[in-house]
Amino acid sequence: MALVFIVTLVQDSTFKSVNETSVPLLFVDNDKDSLSFQLENSLTQAHFFTTSKKNISVDEAKQLVATGKFLMAVIVPENISKKLRNKAKAKISKAFNPNDSIINDDSELQLQLFFDPITKQSFKVTISSAIDKIVSGIEMQSLTKELSQQLKQNFPNAKPIAFDSKPLVTTIQQYASTNETSLVPNSVQHNVPAWTMFAMFFICIPLSANIIRERDDGSAFRLLTMSGSYLNVLMGKILIYLLVNLIQFVLMLCVGIYFLPMLGLPQLQIGNNFFTLLVVALSSGLAACGFGLLVGTIAGSVDQAALFGAVSIVILAALGGVWIPTFVMPEFMRKISSISPLNWGLEAFYGVFVRGLSLGGIFIYLLKLKLFFVACVSGAFYYQVYRRMR
Amino acid sequence: MENQFVEIQNISKLYKGSLVPAVNNISLQIKKQSVFGLLGPNGAGKTTLISMLCGLFKPDSGKIFVDGFNTISESKKTKQIIGVVPQEIALYAKLTAWENLMFLGQMYGIESVELKKRINEHLQILGLEENKNQQIRTFSGGMKRRINLIAGLLHHPKLLILDEPTVGIDVQSKTAIINHLKKINKEQGTTIFYTSHHLDEAQDFCTHIAIIDEGKLITEGETNEVIKKNNCKTIEEVYLNITGQKFRD
């Protein structure tokens, strides 16, 4: 439970940066004219950047980004607004009077962008595109303003044309969730199910230790000499540990729903499909208990079981996306992660919590978890038969 | 032959990785209602033989029949008529004596009212009635041994297998256990298969004795006969003559 608190808090800013992308940006305005004002205004309104304005040199700005104080810097050169207006005027005049000998200024108007070297290429492309879009809007405004003035000069009786600079085509972005309430993946939505799966699989340690202790103290010997099926004994154990797992599951959900919001984190949204959620919890619990049973049957001592159990769960958890979500993993790791039962459980929980899927939608993960359980129990049963009968 | 309750036919068992068989071509016949003592030094093969008798281990060769049932191919039927008292205290330390016995009795499928009656009877005879609601972990070694014994008796087995039932306990507990076993043997007709390192106890308790060493059967027969044919006065003397003075750690 402590892990959920700590890791969720630690990852919260990471998820926010992925989801909300609040980039610390240094804005150096050497223009102090319309373009820099509009650009600064647009950057602030985009809620995409945390803008800090400083009157410093280009080299100083570069140094601040290089030392990691800012993720990027935008340098607006001197007189760029004036040059933009002149260029726009020249372009529009040329369009109206192609034979005029207006001297066209071919020099390029450039904004300088500096990026922190740790930023990925994809980040640079995204940010550059966002700034290009803002600058294009400002350019378009300059051109339309100049066009309007030229029209007024050439056609004095014409009514002034008001250009609406709003884009004609826009995009709507939504998360592909079947939930009525569109849920945003955040640190809580990831960490609560992830660490719930981790905790559920850690039942392996006490369960395997119990099996080994029974074997060492002769209880297993006595139980095996009874006429009832030893499989019933194993199933009885699984039922009890499954119950413990379910209690653990409910407590973890309570942490996500009631306690994490007290720390300023988002509340866990579990959707409305409680039956599906119960089936996922049962399937995950069964898989965890089955694994514990297998480890307890094969391991020679409590120490061996504890060591192997803990290490294998940590590996399966790492592969399964408990610490680092699979969507940020490289492609080949994502393929490997699909062999981890923790990943199946996690994907099933995501299916219910984030994607709002029904039983049918997560059927494949539930099937994998149950097959894993059957394989583990069968393995444990036949291994102990083999060990006795070999 | 008809009077033989347990028939062990040429059984051998070699553990994987071991060069010497734990049990080497042993044949034994145990009469109904007898008290059969299997004696031998540490590592002689007693526990392996018991495990095969219970149907837990499969012999590499040979067969074992209990009341006519093959312990491997008819293991379910065999298990219904045997009771096992392991050498270890095979009880749940955090459960009370009553809870332990109720659980194990229910595992044998004994009906609840009858089970409670049987538990109370045994607890009374073995002087544990007042302690029945105490956790096993609070019990002395002797008390634990007595509960361990009761757990193997609850379903009235025809064959009771005891692996060193009196090891590490005081004389009072030992006497109580042996007297209780004698009573059960006499009144219920239970055949007892017993191992121990207490040779004076074995001489007093067992009607028949077998001594094994290094997996092989050295001598067997009625207790008095075994003493007589080896020209000794006690089983301990026979035992030391046969197995020697060498340590078997």
CATH 3.40.190 for the A21-154 domain, yes or no: yes
Chain A residues with CB under 8 Å of B107 CB are: 223, 226, 228, 233
- Short-list B168, B173, B172, CA closest to B147: B173
At residue A177, the pLDDT reads 58
At residue A91, the pLDDT reads 82
What element of type H or E holds B167? none
Tokens at B125, concatenated: 């005879």
Residue A32, phi then psi, degrees to nearest 5 = 50, 45
At residue A17, the pLDDT reads 53
At residue A63, the pLDDT reads 86
Residue of B nearest to A210 (CA): B92
Task: Name the strands in the sheet holding A23-29, side by side, starting at the edge strand that comes first in the sequence.
Answer: A49-53, A23-29, A72-76, A112-115
Give Cα A21 to chain centroid, integer Å.
12
- Lowest model confidence (mean pLDDT) among A176-190, A356-370, B180-194, B232-246: A176-190
Torsional sign, CA A374, A376, A381, A383: positive
Distance CA A52, CA A59 (A): 16
Distance CA B148, CA B173 (A): 12
Looking at residues A363-372, what average pLDDT do you find?
96
Chain A residues with CB under 8 Å of B152 CB are: 222
Q: What is the mean pLDDT of chain A?
A: 83
Q: How many CB atoms lie within 10 A of CB B73?
A: 11
- Residue B173 to chain A, least CA–CA distance (Å): 21
Are the Cβ atoms of A216 and B88 closer than 8 angstroms?
yes
The set of long-range contacts for A361-366, using a CB threshold of 8 Å and a minimum separation of 24, is: A361/A178, A362/A276, A362/A280, A365/A280, A365/A283, A366/A279, A366/A280, A366/A283
Burial A189-221 (b: 16+ CB within 10 A, else e): bbbbbbbbbbbbbbbbbbbbbbbbebbebbbbb
Inter-axis angle of helices A274-298 and A187-201, nearest 10: 40
Are the Cβ atoms of B151 and A222 closer than 8 angstroms?
yes
Q: What is the pLDDT of residues A339-352, one digit of tens each?
A: 999 999 999 998 88
Torsional sign, CA B156, B157, B158, B160: negative
Using CB atoms, pick whichever of B76, B80, B90 lies closest to residue A222: B90
Contact call for residues B160 and B152 (beta carbons, < 8 A): yes
**With pLDDT > 90 as the criterion, what percentage of chain A qualifies?**
31
Contact call for residues A267 and A352 (beta carbons, < 8 A): no
Map residue A286 onto helix, strand or coil. helix
Question: Length of chain A in residues, anyone?
Answer: 390
- Residue B233 to chain A, least CA–CA distance (Å): 36
Q: Does A216 touch chain B (CB under 8 A)?
A: yes
CA distances from A182 to A166, A202, A241, A361, B156 (A): 27, 32, 35, 18, 66
For residue B197, the 8-state DSSP code is S
Contact call for residues B105 and B116 (beta carbons, < 8 A): no
ipTM of the complex: 0.87
Contact call for residues A263 and A215 (beta carbons, < 8 A): no
Return the ∠ at Cα A41 (arms to A37 and A42), rounded to 5°. 120
At residue B56, the pLDDT reads 87
At residue A15, the pLDDT reads 61
Instruction: Pick from B53, B88, B160, B167 the residue to mutate for testing the A interface (most A CBs within 10 Å).
Output: B88
Chain B residues with CB under 8 Å of A224 CB are: 54, 56
Q: Kindly list the domain boundaries of chain A, sorted by start residue.
A: 21-154, 187-389
Q: Does A227 touch chain B (CB under 8 A)?
A: yes
At residue B59, the pLDDT reads 93
Residue B45 burial (10 A CB sphere; 0-12, 13-18, 19+): buried
Tokens at A54, concatenated: 């400083």
What element of type H or E holds A321? none
Distance CA A65, CA A178 (A): 42
Tokens at B28, concatenated: 């034994």
Q: How confident is the model at residue A278 (pLDDT cuts 50, 70, 90)?
A: very high
Contact call for residues B133 and B96 (beta carbons, < 8 A): yes
The three-state (H, E, C) secondary structure of A217-232, written as one string: CCHHHHHHCCCCCHHH
Strand partners, A76: A29
- Short-list A183, A201, A178, A174, CA closest to A15: A183
Q: Does A218 touch chain B (CB under 8 A)?
A: yes
Burial B166-185 (b: 16+ CB within 10 A, else e): beebeeebbebbbebbeebb
B4-243: CATH superfamily: P-loop containing nucleotide triphosphate hydrolases (3.40.50.300)
Chain A residues with CB under 8 Å of B153 CB are: none
Greater confidence (A85 vs B249) lies with A85
Q: Is the pLDDT of residue A327 over 80?
A: no
**What are the DSSP calls for A246-279, one per residue?**
HHHHHHHHHIIIIIGGGGTPPPPP--S-HHHHHH
The three-state (H, E, C) secondary structure of A298-320, written as one string: HCCCHHHHHHHHHHHHHHHHHHH
Strands A23-29 and B82-85: unpaired
Q: What is the pLDDT of residues B67-112, one digit of tens each?
A: 999 999 999 899 999 999 998 999 999 999 999 999 999 988 899 9
Dihedral through CA A176, CA A177, CA A182, CA A185, nearest 10?
-80
- Short-list A310, A292, A291, A299, CA closest to A216: A299
Q: What is the pLDDT of residues A4-54, one digit of tens each?
A: 666 666 566 566 555 555 678 899 999 898 888 888 888 887 777 788 888
Tokens at B50, concatenated: 């018991």
Q: What is the pLDDT of residues A196-241, one digit of tens each?
A: 999 999 999 999 999 999 989 888 888 888 887 777 888 889 999 9
For residue A283, the 8-state DSSP code is H
Residue B118, phi then psi, degrees to nearest 5 = -65, -40
Weakly modelled stretches of chain B, pLDDT under 70: 1-2, 245, 247-249
Q: Does A385 touch chain B (CB under 8 A)?
A: no
Distance CA A114, CA A118 (A): 12
Q: Does A213 touch chain B (CB under 8 A)?
A: no
Map residue A141 onto helix, strand or coil. helix
Strand partners, B217: B212
- Lowest model confidence (mean pLDDT) among A60-74, A128-142, A174-188, A304-318: A174-188
Tokens at A92, concatenated: 């529009």
Q: Is the pLDDT of residue A174 over 70?
A: no
Distance CA A193, CA A349 (A): 6
